Structures are given as structure tokens and as C-alpha cells.
């Protein structure tokens, strides 16, 4: 019945086809005979960005809960929206669901390491433009070289950098 909400809902209903369309752009809403405009991933992203007051989004990929909390709080305090992922596979899923403005990723992660995450993200059309900052305790030559080859903006060593410096690097990466 028009004007009534489905039982068990509070007023906000997200249609599964719209969500699927945001994650998998080859799937569109409606059926083949539907002449109404269909949602496009770019348009939906623009709508979601408007709903967040245009705040830049950072996907923070960190498996240490303490470090994740500290970074998330600092980034939020500085006006960023923060999406969190605690392992490499979740990071890739979240990136594809909502492309962030910047990616801040640890190297040593469960399921896929940070270099593998960046490599897979860089292979997507959206991933080529997103600035990446690696934040790690590892300063191994192989990781540094791989990060450079993948176009990582900064490779920061956790023990050598303060939270405000990390935020400053994110802001700097977004201005380039």
C-alpha cells in the first residue's frame, strides 16, 4: 500500500539492486523493458559523496586494533571519513564497494599483504588514481622497491612518524 513502510523497517530501505549496482557496475537496476534512467556507479558515488558533505574518505587498512583506533580518531578529527579494513581481502572488497579518496595501508596484514592489496587495487580503473600511503614497521628493500613501482606516494615507518605527520601526508597526497 502506498505511503506505508514494509513491516520491520524504520524508514530507510536500501534496494539490493542499487547496492549491487554500486559494487558491480555491469549490473544495472530495473529490467530490460524499463525505460527509466538506470543508476550508474559514478552517479551513485557522486550522490554518496554529497551525502557525506564532500569530506574526503580514507580507507585505512590496519590489523592492529590500537593503531587502527588511533589513526581513525586522528583522521576523523581532521575532517576525514574513515573506512576500516583489518585484512587485505576486506580492503579490496571495501575499495571496490566505495572507492576512497586515499588509501593508507600496512604491509603485514592477514590474508593478503599490503603490497598485494595495492597491486590488486592498482589493476582496477579507479585504483590507478587513488593516492596510496604505506605505513609499516618494515623497512625491507623488496617492499620499498615494490611500493615505488606501484606508485605509492609515501612509505612511512611507524616508529619514525607521529599521528599528525601521517595526517599531513594524507592531505599532501590528496592535493597532488
- Give me the long-range contacts of 157-163 (CB less than 8 A, separation at least 24): 158/67, 161/135, 163/70, 163/71, 163/74
Is 40 a domain residue?
A: yes
Do residues 117 and 74 share a domain? yes
Do residues 170 and 132 share a domain? yes
Do residues 22 and 91 share a domain? no
Residue 42 has pLDDT above 60, yes or no: no
Do residues 35 and 68 share a domain? no
Residue 44 has pLDDT above 60, yes or no: no
Q: Where are the beta strands (DSSP E) in the chain?
A: 57-61, 81-85, 102-105, 132-136, 154-157
Q: What is the mean pLDDT of residues 152-156?
A: 91
Residue 95 Cα to chain centre, angstroms: 4
| pLDDT of the residue at 163 | 94
Is 63 a domain residue?
A: yes
Distance (Å, whole) CA 120 – CA 127: 8
Is 5 a domain residue?
A: no
Residue 39 has pLDDT above 80, yes or no: no
| C-alpha closest to that of 147 among 114, 103, 174 | 114
Model confidence band, residue 55 (pLDDT cutoffs 50, 70, 90):
confident
At 13, give phi and psi (nearest 5°): -130, 125
Per the model's pLDDT, the better-predicted residue between 63 and 2 turns out to be 63
Do residues 61 and 89 share a domain? yes
Distance (Å, whole) CA 75 – CA 161: 15
Query: What are 24-34's pLDDT values in tens digits?
Result: 444 444 444 55
Number of domains in the chain: 2
Model confidence band, residue 23 (pLDDT cutoffs 50, 70, 90):
very low
Distance (Å, whole) CA 7 – CA 58: 36
Instruction: Look up the pTM and report it.
Output: 0.70
Is 10 a domain residue?
A: no
Query: What are 108-149's pLDDT values in tens digits?
Result: 999 999 999 999 999 998 898 999 999 998 888 888 899 988
Sole residue written with cell 590474508: 111
Do residues 153 and 94 share a domain? yes
- The angle subtended at Cα 127 by Cα 121 and Cα 131, nearest 5°, is 105
Per the model's pLDDT, the better-predicted residue between 2 and 165 turns out to be 165
Do residues 37 and 96 share a domain? no
Is 59 a domain residue?
A: yes
Do residues 35 and 75 share a domain? no
The domain in which residue 20 lies consists of 16-45
Q: What is the CATH number of the domain that holds 128?
A: 3.40.50.2300
| pLDDT of the residue at 46 | 53
Distance (Å, whole) CA 155 – CA 144: 7
Task: Return the percentage of the chain with pLDDT > 90, whole number.
Answer: 55
| pLDDT of the residue at 138 | 82
| C-alpha closest to that of 113 among 61, 157, 73 | 61
Residue 71 has pLDDT above 60, yes or no: yes
CB contact at 8 A, 21 and 39: yes
Query: What average pLDDT does the structure give for the chain?
Result: 79
Amino acid at each position: 500500500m502506498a505511503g506505508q513502510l514494509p513491516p520491520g523497517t524504520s524508514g530507510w530501505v536500501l534496494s539490493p539492486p542499487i547496492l549491487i549496482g554500486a559494487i558491480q557496475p555491469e549490473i544495472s537496476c530495473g529490467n530490460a523493458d524499463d525505460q527509466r534512467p538506470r543508476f550508474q556507479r559514478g552517479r551513485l558515488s557522486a550522490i554518496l559523496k554529497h551525502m557525506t558533505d564532500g569530506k574526503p574518505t580514507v580507507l585505512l587498512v590496519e590489523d592492529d586494533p590500537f593503531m587502527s583506533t588511533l589513526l581513525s580518531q586522528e583522521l576523523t578529527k581532521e575532517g576525514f571519513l574513515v573506512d576500516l579494513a583489518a585484512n587485505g581481502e576486506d580492503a579490496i572488497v571495501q575499495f571496490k564497494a566505495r572507492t576512497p579518496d586515499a588509501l593508507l595501508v600496512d604491509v603485514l596484514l592477514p590474508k593478503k599483504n599490503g603490497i598485494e592489496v595495492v597491486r590488486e587495487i592498482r589493476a582496477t580503473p579507479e585504483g590507478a588514481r587513488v593516492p596510496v600511503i604505506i605505513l609499516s614497521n618494515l623497512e625491507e628493500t623488496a617492499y620499498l622497491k615494490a611500493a615505488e613501482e606501484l606508485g605509492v606516494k609515501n612509505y612511512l615507518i611507524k616508529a619514525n612518524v607521529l599521528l599528525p605527520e601521517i595526517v599531513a601526508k594524507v592531505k599532501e597526497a590528496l592535493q597532488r
